[in-house]
Amino acid sequence: MTSDKKRTLIPVGPYHPLQEEPEHFLLYVEGEKVVEIDWKTGYNHRGIEKLAEGMSYDQVTFLVERVCGICSTSHPIAYTNAVEDLCGIDIPDRAKYIKSIVGELERLHSHLLWLGLAGHYIGYDTVWMWAWKYREPVLEIMEAVTGNRNNYAMMKPGGIRRDIDDGDIPIIMKMVDELKPQLDLLLGAVQDDPMIHKRTKGVGILTPEDARAYGAIGPTARASGVDVDVRRDHPYAAYDLVDWDVIVTQNCDVFDRAAVRILEMYEAIKIIKQCLERLKKVKGPIDADIKEVPPGHGLGHAEAPRGEVFHYVRSDGTNRPYRHKIRAPSYCNVPTFKVTCIGESVADATLILAAVDPCYCCTERMAVVDVDSGRKTLGPSDLVRLSREKTARLRRG
Amino acid sequence: MGQAEIDPITSLREKFSDRIKELYEKSEKRYYVLIEPADLLDFVDYVYNHLKARYIIVSGLDTPKGLELVYHFALDKLGKVLSLRTVVPIEKPEVESISGLITGAQWIEREIMDILGVKFLNHPDPRRFILADDWPEGVYPYRRKK
């Protein structure tokens, strides 16, 4: 960083109506190169942790379902795990399988959503249209299982709220089976396209050391060779009762973050099918009765599509939490931009920001400000254009 | 990068025997260790760098005894979670920042500073994080009314 070079500030965010997490990134650039990055958040702080203190344990499940619009079931899963840990109870097996089915369906639709956006971003709209087309049947399966396409309201402390009818299992199984060839198509599209390789390989390197120092989790960490997945490490629901693999890759770049997500979708299908199969045999209640919540501590994890969701509940023995702390995965994954974006070009920085899967649409709010005059030099949507232009340039030669 | 072979809770107990105020084993997977704020850095250093635990997050809460900070660490290989608890007095809510040891803790420390008014000493970047720029000084939304 020499002083004679002119620094420009690129603010990204903070708001976009499609965004569940408004955030503000400040990219400091010299020419094309990002030299410094800062992060501000809290624009849409809803005080959910505070609201939880005024609700009964049962009501909080519905509240935390609204923490995130995309992975809306991860928070109830982590929260109910925390309350069950606090009460020291184990839930019935049938509830465990259904918990896993809902969790994995959510991973499928969330990863497809991300993949589509990533494709659009680098100017590969076919991937975008395919991914979103194939996401639709996943939502339909979700509707068949839970009654809702989003905000499923399936979890409750001690179990789940609705059972799956035996008669529905073959239908759901058939729908899940039909997903696999579509995933093959997407996997092929990403694996074989030289342009995707050029745009994403070796871009946005997150070393395993940095991943650990920032507490990164989920696909962001697993693409950097960090073998961490709370489904296996801190088993909950039915993840220790079925056979599946944790996907870990070693290249630490954006390509691997995409690859981990695609390969995880195959694992998700594997888990769902096994759980559905077991449901035919495992009968019984779907919830354990919680009469009283004792004073003390409760911790719960859930592996959301973006990484570990963590809930801490402190009870004073009343029917409401004394304190309820929520840690979403992006809280730890987002700051890794401090290391992954530095030295990269602006067109790649947007892709790196997106590869963590935190806040995509922010870029629509993007403006470039000349630090000296404060004048805007680039309007909204220009960042997407920059990224897409780079792909077009590469394609030409 | 593997986590230590010997049982981490035993090794923690041996290393800091006289400095552990209370060790509560909620279950075989959940440990809560109450410590003095002055010992925090030693404990975090040991848990993070020696036991190779994964940093999860810090929870802050207002209790009748003072402002309590709970530092959660995951021992992933063993499926356990170790939480270090420390209580700082509300009259002088100060504690050393752990961001020097764990880079990723900067942001949660800034958040706790905003919502509970805990001062993290030697924090690399102690600016406001989630509160609005025009939020009044000295008002902490997560403190309880006495």
CA angle A354, A343, A250 (to 5 degrees): 60
CA–CA distance, A348 with A354 (Å, rounded to integer): 10
Same domain, A323 and A343: no
Residues of chain A positioned with their CB less than 8 A from the CB of B108: 327, 331
Taking only residues 84 to 123 of chain B, the set having a beta carbon closer than 8 angstroms to any beta carbon of chain A reads 102-108, 114
How close, in Å, is residue B18 to chain A by CA atoms?
24
Looking at residues B72-76, what average pLDDT do you find?
Answer: 96
- What mean pLDDT is reported for chain B? 92
Report pLDDT digits (tens) over B45-64: 999 999 999 999 999 999 99
**Which CATH number goes with the domain that contains B36?**
3.30.460.80
Residue A305 is given by DSSP the state T
Spatial neighbors of A327 by CB under 8 A, at least 6 apart, are A309, A310, A311, A312, B56, B57, B108
The total of structural domains in chain A comes to: 2
How close, in Å, is residue B134 to chain A by CA atoms?
12
Q: Which of B103, B129, B135, B144 to mutate to test the interface with A (most CBs of A within 10 A)?
A: B103
Looking at residues B21-36, what average pLDDT do you find?
Answer: 95
- From the CB of residue A385, how many other CB atoms can be counted at a distance below 10 Å? 15
The total of structural domains in chain B comes to: 1
Q: Does B85 fall in a domain?
A: yes
Same domain, A147 and A294: yes
pLDDT confidence tier of residue A42, bands split at 50, 70 and 90: confident
Q: What is the pLDDT of residue A196?
A: 87
Q: Does B107 fall in a domain?
A: no
Report pLDDT digits (tens) over A62-101: 999 988 878 889 999 999 999 999 999 999 999 999 999 9
- Give the domain extent around A366: 7-43+338-396
Residues of chain B positioned with their CB less than 8 A from the CB of A314: 59, 61
Cis preceding-peptide flag for A14 (omega within 30 of 0)? yes
CB atoms A297 and B26 under 8 Å: yes
Taking only residues 19 to 78 of chain B, the set having a beta carbon closer than 8 angstroms to any beta carbon of chain A reads 26-27, 29-30, 32, 54-57, 59-61, 70, 72, 74, 76-77
CB atoms A323 and B83 under 8 Å: no
How close, in Å, is residue B88 to chain A by CA atoms?
17
Report pLDDT digits (tens) over A338-368: 899 888 888 888 788 777 776 433 233 333 4
Are the C-beta atoms of residues B77 and B3 closer than 8 Å to each other? yes
Q: Assess B131–A contact: CB distance below 8 Å, yes or no.
A: yes
- What mean pLDDT is reported for chain A? 86
E strands in chain A: 7-12, 24-30, 33-40, 155-156, 159-160, 296-304, 307-315, 321-327, 368-369, 376-378
How close, in Å, is residue B69 to chain A by CA atoms?
11
Q: Does B1 fall in a domain?
A: no
CA–CA distance, B94 with B38 (Å, rounded to integer): 10
The dihedral built from the CA positions of residue A137, A70, A165 and A81, taken in this order, carries a sign that is positive
- Give the domain extent around B41: 8-92
Residue B34 has pLDDT above 90, yes or no: yes
Same domain, A194 and A280: yes
Same domain, A287 and A315: yes
Q: Does B59 fall in a domain?
A: yes
Report pLDDT digits (tens) over A248-302: 999 999 999 999 999 999 999 999 999 999 999 999 999 998 989 999 999 999 9
Q: Which of B57, B61, B142 sits opposite A310 (nearest CB)?
A: B57
Taking the model in full, what pTM does it have?
Answer: 0.90
Q: Does A320 fall in a domain?
A: yes
Same domain, A37 and A56: no
Are the C-beta atoms of residues A31 and A25 closer than 8 Å to each other? no
| ipTM tops the 0.90 cut | yes
Q: Which of B30, B56, B76 sits opposite A310 (nearest CB)?
A: B56
CA-nearest residue to A300 within chain B is B81
Same domain, A321 and A365: no
CB atoms B107 and A325 under 8 Å: no
**Concatenated DSSP letters of A112-123:** HHHHHHHHHHTT
Q: Does A207 fall in a domain?
A: no
- From the CB of residue A205, how many other CB atoms can be counted at a distance below 10 Å? 17
